[in-house]
Chain A
């Protein structure tokens, strides 16, 4: 079963390709979308602001500059549930409060990763942070679609293993 179906995510291209300026956009009631509108994620139990914050938080916890937001969105989508709603609301509020204390309007308004990471470090022992981080370990890295970014080739039995496909092809030693 793909990670996508497991987490019940709706991922769809939007009709409009009009690019919005700036960071990830809160694109309308019930979903958030990429600035270039290449994808969108619906939210049901939590707010658009909370989802956008979770998404940025996911990027700041496990930043991979060659992995697009849509994969992080899949990884945090599981927190958009009735079960997690209160934890997310409380956690995002705490993040925004810490950001305000540091002189930013909100967590999302802190433009530099280092500033956001400093805010996260102050909250890393909270159950909220640990739930988000822990969920990402499988939620992000177990998406087969991101493996090629790391060069990882995944399943190999169906291709006869690597005996004729470069198990010993290193050429720089």
Chain B
């Protein structure tokens, strides 16, 4: 393997990528494979499967982003976890260490939400400037990269106990689209990584490496080309620009807390839906007083987090849901758009389990007494599922700069979110259906559980056809600044019902192809 590259701070021929998760990590490798020189700045440290721990709180301490953030709005997360709006990762590989692995494509109509659903009062719905036909080839590449089950030659994973209860309940209700899903978890040995050993703890980093994570796939592969340098513990502070309005590089705090400046030919922001708009806003200058790439005023707006919630069911006999794949199966019958249900868009139901430590923290935050503990007492007999539905983009659900500052003195992100009536109607429908599934299998008690801190964070630098409607164009290139790109979930125009990682990866592969081609043509 070639030595990982080392680039000079003054080398302005490099592409600088901020963040190394599903967007940034994939973009970094894809560009490096094409011969483009890349410096990737990662705020977190480097952890590999041997470092991950099968312990919920210890792992949280190791991997989670726990730097300060503030919250507002009527969402319950703002009350229960006011400093922790999201459960996402600060590490090389980003949240691909933590994700469950569900890898499903948008449904065709979800690229055109406004056209399909019509205008929804209070929602800032738009169509994506790209569509299913264009994305199909990029999804193919993303599925091959991730080794997605039920794509190509990869069989589905076997179902665990939690899935078997879920599947039987779904069948009892007449659901047809029920399976162990399309997962970026090896069902056979692949990519020098073993098949799933049904260990559980998918959220804590897969110690087998059976689940795809950029941390031990794309990142080392990119480094092996000699074209990629990953600087961990490097916290981006500000993107600078010249008098012509083109970005020139990135100021960041290095491992030792010293402020550095890395020159760049092009900058791609992939710090997730909170940090990416925060960085653009914190980069305000005389020329761009409202922040970089913000002539539309859309930077930070339209924050989406999926309409989530969980349903747990308690049964007469043991389930032991924690054994095996955490997200072990899916029901897709409700993912369709069918306004007869009382809401636009749709939702997926996916199995989920938490260990006792996290169940105590998340089952009903703030709750106490026997109603709460008598449920926990039946932990062994519980089955669990998670709701993932399309939430409505709203202009005032947004990331802004807080008055709170981090240890570097940089203003942190305030995350404001309030449910849209469509979100509430969808969640209530999903609670009913989830509870009905478990009751059909004899559940003695069901628990409609409120949303956890967000894991799917989308939309705050949204993609739009017209510059006045959004922050980036169809390539993730900012409308305002030609050599500034956004490469993470913040570019989502709408959220669709599906777990977003596969789409983020597909967009990153496509974006790398575009950037490399435009560089070669001398346009970037």
Considering the complex, give the chain A residue whose CB is closest to the CB of B442: A172
Q: Say yes or no: is A22 at the interface (Cβ < 8 Å to chain B).
A: no
**Cα distance A167–B324 when bound, in Å?**
5
State which of B199, B319, B361, B369 has its C-beta within 8 Å of the C-beta of A156.
B199
Q: Say yes or no: is B284 at the interface (Cβ < 8 Å to chain A).
A: no
Decide if A169 touches B380 in the complex (CB within 8 Å).
Answer: no
Interface residues on A, range: 35 or more
Q: Say yes or no: is B159 at the interface (Cβ < 8 Å to chain A).
A: yes
Decide if A62 touches B373 in the complex (CB within 8 Å).
Answer: yes
Decide if A63 touches B369 in the complex (CB within 8 Å).
Answer: yes
State which of B55, B57, B315 has its C-beta within 8 Å of the C-beta of A138.
B57
Q: Say yes or no: is A117 at the interface (Cβ < 8 Å to chain B).
A: yes
List B contacts of A157 (CB < 8 A). Answer: 54, 199, 201, 207-208
Q: Say yes or no: is A152 at the interface (Cβ < 8 Å to chain B).
A: yes
**Cα distance A165–B160 when bound, in Å?**
11
Q: Say yes or no: is A137 at the interface (Cβ < 8 Å to chain B).
A: yes
State which of A153, A163, A173 has its C-beta within 8 Å of the C-beta of B165.
A173
Chain A 119-160, CB-CB to B under 8 Å as 1, else 0, gives 000001000000001000110111000110011111111101
State which of B158, B323, B357, B377 has its C-beta within 8 Å of the C-beta of A141.
B357
State which of A60, A154, A163 has its C-beta within 8 Å of the C-beta of B198.
A163
List A contacts of B161 (CB < 8 A). Answer: 166-170
Which residues in B have some Cβ–Cβ distance to A below 8 Å?
A: 53-55, 57, 158-161, 164-165, 168, 196-201, 207-208, 315-320, 322-324, 355-357, 359-361, 366, 368-370, 372-373, 376-377, 379-380, 441
Decide if A156 touches B200 in the complex (CB within 8 Å).
Answer: yes
List B contacts of A146 (CB < 8 A). Answer: 356
Decide if B199 touches A173 in the complex (CB within 8 Å).
Answer: no
Which of A133, A140, A161, A169 has most B Cβ within 10 Å? Answer: A161
**Cα distance A64–B355 when bound, in Å?**
17
Add 6 more A-B contacts to A150-B376, A152-B380, A154-B55 (CB < 8 A).
Answer: A63-B373, A64-B377, A153-B323, A155-B54, A156-B199, A172-B315
Which residues in A have some Cβ–Cβ distance to B below 8 Å?
A: 60-64, 66, 117, 124, 133, 137-138, 140-142, 146-147, 150-158, 160-163, 165-170, 172-173
Which of A60, A62, A146, A173 has most B Cβ within 10 Å? Answer: A173
Decide if B54 touches A168 in the complex (CB within 8 Å).
Answer: no
**Cα distance A172–B443 when bound, in Å?**
13
Decide if A152 touches B373 in the complex (CB within 8 Å).
Answer: no
Known: A64-B376, A168-B158, A173-B165. Is A137-B361 also a contact (CB below 8 A)?
yes
**Cα distance A2–B318 when bound, in Å?**
29
Chain B nearest Cβ from A128, distance in angstroms: 14
Considering the complex, give the chain B residue whose CB is closest to the CB of A147: B356
Known: A152-B379, A156-B199. Is A168-B369 also a contact (CB below 8 A)?
no
Decide if B160 touches A61 in the complex (CB within 8 Å).
Answer: no
List A contacts of B55 (CB < 8 A). Answer: 154-155
Considering the complex, give the chain B residue whose CB is closest to the CB of A59: B373
Chain A nearest Cβ from B513, distance in angstroms: 37
Known: A157-B199, A161-B199, A168-B159. Is A150-B356 also a contact (CB below 8 A)?
yes
List A contacts of B324 (CB < 8 A). Answer: 161-163, 167-168
**Cα distance A110–B16 when bound, in Å?**
66
List A contacts of B319 (CB < 8 A). Answer: 170
Chain A nearest Cβ from B52, distance in angstroms: 8
Considering the complex, give the chain B residue whose CB is closest to the CB of A129: B368
List A contacts of B201 (CB < 8 A). Answer: 156-157
List A contacts of B53 (CB < 8 A). Answer: 155
6 closest residue pairs by CB, A with B: A151-B380, A161-B199, A161-B197, A167-B324, A141-B360, A167-B198
